[in-house]
Amino acid sequence: MSDFSQGYSTPVPPTGAPGQLASWGQRVVATLIDWLIIVVGYIAVFIVAFILGSISNTLGVLIGLIGYLALVAASFYFYYLNGATGQSPGKRLTGLKVISETTGGVIGGGAGIVRGLLHILDGVICYVGFLLPLWDAKRQTIADKIIHTVVVAGLPSQPMGPNLFK
């Protein structure tokens, strides 16, 4: 495992990795975009379930349950994308990428899901793990340290879907 703090005044990513290590602020913006997508989905599901629930309680509960499960699956899909491609929708829009600190490549979908679940540890003690990139030499959270990943910046921002205006 490489140590970014040795001989460098600023953190640098692994050899061959694109860009520089992402700042805490860049990571927060990407995460907020991901959360916003999920929260908007939850609000839409709640509204539709409430409206249909006024027609039929069973229909409202069924739509609410299906919508909730779909949004949980979407959250896991975002974790999967972080591992498989290095970019969730928020990271894609902000030009960030999750990479292995040892190889500089993507970590794989399964490891991305595990990394996402390990973020629970980042929030266990007053969210210190999420604040760790503010002073850590490699700008890693606890989950990043366990999975051996870093987040790099400097990639071109990309839209989440096809460009419909061409």
Q: Own/partner pairs for 69-76, CB < 8 Å, 24+ apart?
A: 70/41, 70/45, 71/38, 71/41, 71/42, 71/45, 74/37, 74/38, 74/41, 75/38, 75/116, 76/113, 76/116
Tell me the average pLDDT of the chain. Answer: 88
Q: How confident is the model at residue 163, as a pLDDT?
A: 53
Give the residue, 15 or 83, on which the prediction is more confident.
83
What one-letter code names the amino acid at 8? Y
Q: How confident is the model at residue 125 (pLDDT cuts 50, 70, 90)?
A: confident
pTM passes above 0.85: no
Q: How confident is the model at residue 131, as a pLDDT?
A: 94
Q: Using the predicted structure, report yes or no on whether residue 12 has a pLDDT greater than 80.
A: no
Q: Using the predicted structure, report yes or no on whether residue 55 has a pLDDT greater than 50.
A: yes
Instruction: State pLDDT tens for residues 58-86.
Output: 999 999 999 999 999 999 999 999 999 99
Instruction: State pLDDT tens for residues 22-45.
Output: 999 999 999 999 999 999 999 999
Q: Are 144 and 131 in contact (CB under 8 A)?
A: no
Q: Using the predicted structure, report yes or no on whether residue 110 has a pLDDT greater than 80.
A: yes
